[in-house]
Amino acid sequence: MSSAPTGPADRADLGAALRHWRDRQPPGEVGLPSGGVRRAPGLRREELAQLAGLSVDYVVRLERGRATSPSAQVLAALSRALRLSVSERDHLYLLAGRRPPGAGQVSQHIPPSVQRLCDQLARTPLSVYDASWTLLTWNPLWGALTGDPSMLRGRERNIVWRHFAGSSSRVAHLPGELVRFEAALVSDLRSSLAAYPEDEPLRTLVDDLREHSRRFGELWAAHAVGRYGIGDTKLVHHPDVGAVTVDCDVLTVPGSDLRIVVYSAPPGTTTAAQFELLNVVGTQPMTSRRPT
């Protein structure tokens, strides 16, 4: 994504815009409680910080014009948390003194409709990735099942890198499905590079994967191109509820290169009961766990 500065940021206007967008966002629409005494109908600063993965102090400094040029990653997180349209997102970048993401680059923008989908499917683990398979957002049940992704930084949020670099994961593939999964993931990444040949972070990701993973290099050399379209079954090893068998499907949004990954289970199954339990306990360890 382009993050080159375009000139000095207009800090006063940036702060005013952030306050306006924060005030207009009802907390109930982003999965937060809307009761209690509020000075304004919108989000509190600490709520915006939580949604964007930022510190409250940094949000305060941005709104008061005391923070220097925020990074493209921070601006992308703020635009998702505030449910900004594409035009509003571009305006946010310009106010911050940065060039908005270009048409020839992988977009990390999530439309408000997709954000609502994440909020409304609260009983189904769900996550959203960009065209390079970098994790953008997820719902609480996804974090409870697979582990809290907010702790991951940089490449560790990219599912292709994590898989082929051998990063630890709770998710495993059933026998016979690993080969299909890897081939589909690599062919999808090649289709993204064909669509965004000038995207430097994407090209660097592919180069680094070819250098670090022999398996990725073999699959890349096959020159298969295609969108990820397989549905498969995965096994998630949760430290509290044990093995969780899920059906995995990847959905696409018309007019967008986002990948929405959904884990599901038939009603009345053991997995459905495990989902219900994790909805209650979230990412916190259960009291029954004992140190080993």
Lowest-pLDDT choice from 172-176, 202-206, 237-241, 270-274:
172-176
Give residue 176's pLDDT: 81
Which 3 state secondary structure label does DSSP give 249? strand
The Cα 263–Cα 234 span in angstroms is 9
Q: If you average pLDDT over each of 61-75, 104-118, 185-199, which comes out highest?
A: 185-199
9 pLDDT band (50/70/90 cuts)? low
Of the listed ranges 44-48, 137-141, 242-246, 282-286, the least confidently predicted one is 282-286
* Percentage of residues of the chain with pLDDT beyond 90: 55
Q: Is the model's pLDDT at 58 over the cut of 80?
A: yes
User: What is this structure's pTM?
Assistant: 0.80
Kindly report, residue by residue over 131-182, the tens digit of the pLDDT.
999 999 999 999 999 999 988 888 999 999 999 998 889 999 887 889 999 9
Instruction: Find residue 85's DSSP bridge partners.
Output: none
Q: Are strands 135-138 and 126-129 parallel, antiparallel or unpaired?
A: antiparallel
pLDDT for the residue 94: 92
Identify the sign of the CA torsion 63, 67, 69, 72: negative
Confidence of residue 34 (pLDDT cuts 50, 70, 90): low
Say how many Å lie between the first and final Cα of the chain, rounded: 44
Do strands 135-138 and 171-173 pair parallel, antiparallel, or not at all (unpaired)? Answer: unpaired
Q: Tell me: the pLDDT tens digits for 270-291?
A: 999 999 999 988 767 765 444 4
pLDDT at position 236 is 96
C-alpha distances out from residue 214 to 165, 202, 217, 218, 231, Å: 10, 19, 5, 6, 25
SS3 percent helix, strand, coil of the chain, rounded to 5, is: 45, 15, 40
Residue with tokens 């993931």: 185
For all residues of the chain together, what is the average pLDDT?
A: 87
Residue listed under structure tokens 């375009």: 6
CA angle (39, 42, 46) in 5-degree steps:
85
